[in-house]
A and B are shown apart, each in its own frame.
Chain A
Amino acid sequence: MQPEMLIKLVVLLPLIGAAINGLGGLFVPALRNKEGLIGMIGTIMVLLPFLITVYLFIGFQGDAIISNAFTWMAAGDLTIGFDYRIDELSLLMTMIVTGVGSLIHLYSAGYMHGDDGYWRFFAYLNLFIFAMLNLVLGNNLVVLFLGWEGVGLCSYLLIGFWYKDRNNSKAASKAFIMNRIGDFAFLLAMFIIFREIGSLDFDAVLTDGLTMSQGSITATVLLLFIGATGKSAQIPLFTWLPDAMAGPTPVSALIHAATMVTSGLYLLARLSPLVLMAPGVMTVIAIVGAVTALVAATIAITQNDIKKVLAYSTVSQLGYMFLATGVGAFYVAIFHVMTHAFFKGCLFLGSGSVIHGMHEVEHELEHDGHGHHLDPQDMRTMGGLKKFMPATRMTFLISTLAIAGIPGLAGFFSKDEILFKAFEAGTHGIDVGLVVWVVGLITAFLTAVYMTRAYVLTFEGEPRWPHADKITPHESPWTMTVPLWVLAGMSVVGGYLGIPAVIAHGDLNWIHHWLAGEQGPVAEAAFEGHVALAVEWGLIALGSLIAIMGVWLGWRWYSKRGLSFDEKLAARFGGLYKLWQGKYFFDEAYDKTIVRPLIGGSIHGLAPFDKYVIDGLVNFTGFFTRGASFTLRYLQTGLVQSYAVAIVFGVVLLIWLMLF
């Protein structure tokens, strides 16, 4: 089959899966508990697209292939086609989405066992993959936007998956609305582009779009970036992501770590030639990325909920990627998107496995009538799990070391490349480069510390849940551990796709060639001259040292003193620690300055205004007219006529007013 046909199949299969499981479960209740069937359909509908994409990837010749499905909408000068684009960037993203996606589907088949929303879960998950594929494969901004909002919807449905708890639904609404604020900016960016060049196809945007006025380019890129801060959880629109952990853990791994939250980076990479023409905005992007990375990392240190640690870690790593984008290293951002998908996916799934085990403990405690309430996500009641969950522990450890940036593992390569690019920009006249480079280094250290803390508190030491001598958790089933091992493996080897130029003289940096080579779709900032080789080696050594030091210190502090070291930190940093623990009080500030005034103003201001002022005027007019007709009622019989007379009077009066 032609690639044009195959790519349609790639997009369509997950939709078919969603329809079968969703509509089937909805209308045929008997199908709802057929877990094996549901899980199989759901997984296959993502696995097949992955295999097709690999096939396309192998056969890819280097020229972008456009697959026109049909005209979506046409009005006036606007024509939007349902067109998909196969090129280096979309193939890579599609492989990440469907590859990590099928692993997580497989994992979910075990993780969601026994949930009465099993069918719903797989339907949503398939629908998400469908939307995500539209996002990365669409050949114009509107199809991308369809995917963009579609993943937002699935995120909403999955965060609020366990809707019985109002907190989950609240988190879901918050995520959707914050995303919509970003989408609002995205829409405006599209309006500007269409107004200027009359098209929203990527080919036009990246040719005619570059000839727009500087003001329009700056505004467009800034608005697109604001859109990206919503979807990719950056300051100021990041507070929804930690709350999004209310959803089932596979969702956190797939949507809120590996794929959806990286959409913003994809968008900027896709439009990289345009972004490069707005240097002012790029400075903003670099700063926002760096600040977000640091802020989220400091929060992560203080969290006790294992998923919250990972959530803030994700926000922080996304900040890293924006930092790279801001210094013009778009392909490095995508590189980090990929390695992050491996190790963060693995970490989240690992935490899910842990939670799965702790649920068992919680269940048995309740069953035995011990009367203890246990939060299965709280690391303070974990500890010593390595004895009971060896596979989970080993894969968690590998991905912890990978994210920390230990040399040789995936995170090392991509993170090192980001820091190098920032340094390179900084020494070549982009002043902000050096600043964000320093912030990046500090964040790298913090990352190593908080991830080691999470690992140690969870797996090392002695168990801290009640009756740990009698009640113990068990390792998760193979459907869950297989994806863990695969992702852990990728966290080890995934980095070799981007070996730094200095080590292999540039020849082996596959990802750079692939994405940003001569024909590649991703542009990059070009600088005169090179950083000296010795300096480059020095930077690698510095990065490695910081990572190793972070892990070593984290290990020493937390394996010796355990939880009490947190108290020491709190005492040492005082108010600053409170600020971190309080998540910099973003939520409280938004609530006070925006949410409450808006909602309260509507309820206590506008609604009464509508009722008493606007409608009051209407009723007053009616009352007045009725009063006038009261005298005339002697001449008339019945109500309707008196109204008619009043109306005629009113008409005459109004005409008179209008004419004279």
Chain B
Amino acid sequence: MNIPYLTSIVIFLPLAGALLTMLSRSESAIKWSALGVTSLTFLVSIGLWMGFDPAISTSMAPQLADMTGSWFPDMFDIKYYVGVDGLNLLLIMLTTLLGPIVVLSSWTYIGKSHKPYYTLLLILQTGVTGVFASYDIFLFYIFFELTLIPMYFIIGIWGGENRIYAAVKFVLYTLVGSLLMLVALIYLGYAAGDAINAGVFTTDWFKLVAFQMPVDMQSWLFLLFALAFAIKVPLFPLHTWLPDAHVQAPTGGSVILAGVLLKMGTYGLVRFCLPFFPNAAQEYAMMFAVLAVIGIIYGALVSRAQSDAKKLVAYSSVSHLGFVVLGIFAFTAEAMQGAMIQMINHGISTGALFLIVGMLYERRHTREMSDFGGLAKSVPVLTFFMILSVLASAGLPGLNGFVGEFLILIGSFKSTVLDSLFLVALATTGVILAAVYLLYMVFQMFWGPLDKEENATMKDLNARELVLLLPLAALMVIMGFFPAPFLAKSEPAVQDLLQKIETKRVAAALEAAESDEMTQWTPDAESVGVIEEIVANTDSK
């Protein structure tokens, strides 16, 4: 099955749908067209899954790629260039899957201004998909910024009491990071252009990966990029915008935020920071790993201190994404694969948790855990989905969360870049702490006597809500017992990326050694051996 422009269709179908919702008159026409378009997008995106062959992507060549000529020939090598590879396929699929779920979750939750809400939601989806699919980093940047505006309004208009504060904080925080990234990006484009593109500024990902950046230039460019992504993740201590944004955002906004927006940060680290600046990335790996582990523990403990269920789930993201960042900076295939799959897992289980908390909020107009209690009696089906999501989130083997956490931790433990067993052992305490805060939530809300009238008369899930949760619940189990097909999609790409990073890093280190201290430094026998081995490995692959 070969549909032309498949990737572009998946990106822009929601945008076209936005036009449709804008033209729709009635509330139900708006809703149904939004649901129709996002569902259609998901169906189309299955073509990406079918059409993508991981065996071919060992050379990281994008599949199903669409490319235009340069927008500014001779001046700037900036172009529309999108496609699918092992690194972004699952994230794109997650985005298209959450699309209809988010629309459906807003069905009754959103009480005012339906038209702009669904329009913005659709624009947002185009932005996020574009971020993941871009092979031109300038294009990536445009999509990256494009996600900000709809999210700003979604929080700012349909949010809770303190929505303006949260929305402005969200935008400002991200903007500071991304503007810094822009500066670094422009610098990088010129430097690469001068070196390998006949003096023409370039933002082509493949050219930038091939560009051998001198070691001494890498650090600050790496830090500027990494800062932008670390804010997005968010990495401790840059996380405080997240709980505010989550608590204020409507359910649909929270699901998108936790499900895919945060992944733009971790994805950016993998896609750009590591291959562009391998030497700097390894130099700062320990720093990021330490911050990640602090985030794991700190996020978990602060999560336990919350009395608001949504805030508890929000802080759990800080903890969970700490695992992902740790996995990225371990530079082993196991940990990187764990990070890739954990991004998806977190989107599924945390997405489900936000949905369920939202459903409870719709019923009771409160998220204070102490206002609930004994819900297992009155809403058993909702309780079932809640406990399943909690267990997935806590990393119970047999559900999806375990696979990611286990691979990340076992891969980080053997990492020679981090080489700190103690740090990984600390990270592993997150497994205990996750049980502590998540079971506390279940304890408060679902067990105990049904002593409040409003809780006793609460209605269990309706058909619409069931439809929302069923696919996520199914994925938790499927990806828990059968993660292999999912891992297989990204395995060659991850192996290749790590290989590229290592080759480039060694070459840059050699070059630096030669140019700096050509006379003083002669590699001793051992390091020559190591280098030769690496070069030989690279050649053979």
Contacts and interface: CB of A to CB of B under 8 A. Distances in A.
Interface stretch (A66-74, A267-275, A370-378): A66-74
A659 B221 CA distance: 10
B349 to A, nearest CB: 15
B338 interface: yes
B237 A73 contact: no
A164 B374 contact: yes
Interface string B433-462: 001100110010011111000000000000
B384 A615 contact: no
B449 A166 contact: yes
Interface stretch (B116-124, B351-359, B422-430, B519-527): B422-430
A506 to B, nearest CB: 42
Contacts of A78: 334, 407, 410-411
Given A78-B407, A166-B448, A655 B183 contact: yes
A651 to B, nearest CB: 5
Given A26-B384, A184-B428, A191-B424, A72 B333 contact: no
Interface string A643-660: 100011011001100110
Nearest to B300: A602
Contacts of B172: 622, 643, 647
A164 B450 contact: yes
Interface string B296-307: 001001101110
B199 interface: no
Interface in A169-210: 169-170, 173, 176-177, 180-181, 183-184, 187-188, 190-192, 194-195
Given A153-B396, A177-B439, A166 B447 contact: yes
Main SS of the interface on chain A? Answer: helix
B443 A654 contact: no
B289 interface: no
A618 B240 contact: yes
A68 B414 CA distance: 27
B406 interface: yes
A139 to B, nearest CB: 15
A201 B495 CA distance: 23
Nearest to B395: A149
Interface in B450-500: 450, 481-484, 487-488, 491, 495
B403 interface: yes
Interface in A351-376: none
B388 to A, nearest CB: 11
A168 B447 CA distance: 9
B413 A191 contact: yes
B432 A180 contact: yes
B180 interface: yes
Interface in B349-384: 374, 376-377, 380-381, 384
A191 B338 CA distance: 14
A651 B176 contact: yes
26 contacts: A26-B384, A70-B484, A72-B484, A73-B407, A75-B334, A76-B334, A76-B337, A78-B334, A163-B374, A163-B377, A163-B447, A166-B443, A166-B448, A169-B448, A177-B432, A180-B435, A187-B428, A191-B424, A602-B302, A602-B305, A643-B168, A643-B172, A647-B176, A654-B180, A658-B223, A659-B220
Interface stretch (A277-285, A381-389, A513-521, A606-614): A606-614
Contacts of B488: 74
A150 B396 CA distance: 8
Given A75-B334, A75-B337, A76-B411, A169 B424 contact: no
A648 B180 CA distance: 10
B391 interface: yes
A160 interface: yes
B304 A187 contact: no
A567 interface: no
Interface of B: 168-169, 172-173, 175-176, 179-180, 183, 220, 223-224, 237, 239-241, 298, 301-302, 304-306, 332-334, 337-338, 374, 376-377, 380-381, 384, 391, 396-398, 403, 406-407, 409-411, 413-414, 421, 424-425, 428-429, 431-432, 435-436, 439-440, 443, 446-450, 481-484, 487-488, 491, 495
A634 B91 CA distance: 45
B432 A181 contact: yes
A201 to B, nearest CB: 14
5 A-B pairs closest in CB distance? A76-B333, A75-B337, A607-B305, A169-B447, A615-B240
A651 B447 contact: no
A654 B377 CA distance: 55
Interface in A75-92: 75-78, 82
B301 A183 contact: no
Contact of A188 (B380, B425, B481): B425
A188 to B, nearest CB: 6
A579 interface: no
Contact of B440 (A71, A156, A173, A606): A173
B410 A190 contact: yes
A650 B241 CA distance: 18
Contacts of B443: 166, 169-170, 173
B500 to A, nearest CB: 16
Most buried by A among B410, B443, B483: B410
A191 B409 contact: yes
Most buried by B among A27, A146, A191, A654: A191
Contacts of B374: 163-164
Nearest to B303: A602
A74 B487 contact: yes
A255 interface: no
Given A27-B381, A184-B429, A622-B169, A75 B338 contact: yes
A145 interface: yes
Most buried by B among A27, A142, A153, A643: A153
Contacts of B481: 72, 82
A149 B396 contact: yes
Contacts of B391: 153
Contacts of B484: 70-74
Given A163-B447, A164-B374, A187 B409 contact: yes
B21 to A, nearest CB: 25
B377 A164 contact: yes
A598 interface: yes
B536 to A, nearest CB: 19
Contact of A651 (B183, B381, B411, B482): B183
A576 interface: no
A190 B481 CA distance: 19
Contact of B376 (A74, A163, A166, A647): A163
A241 B333 CA distance: 40
Contacts of B223: 658
Given A26-B384, A194-B414, 6 more contacts: A26-B381, A75-B487, A164-B447, A169-B443, A184-B432, A606-B298
Nearest to B380: A26
A291 to B, nearest CB: 25
A603 interface: yes
A73 B487 contact: yes
Contacts of A647: 172, 175-176, 179
Nearest to A187: B428
Interface string A122-159: 00000000000000000000100110011001001000
Contacts of B301: 598, 601-602, 606
A51 interface: no
A129 to B, nearest CB: 15
Contacts of B409: 187, 191
Nearest to B237: A614
A195 B414 contact: yes
Nearest to A601: B301
A22 to B, nearest CB: 9
A82 B403 CA distance: 14
B491 to A, nearest CB: 7
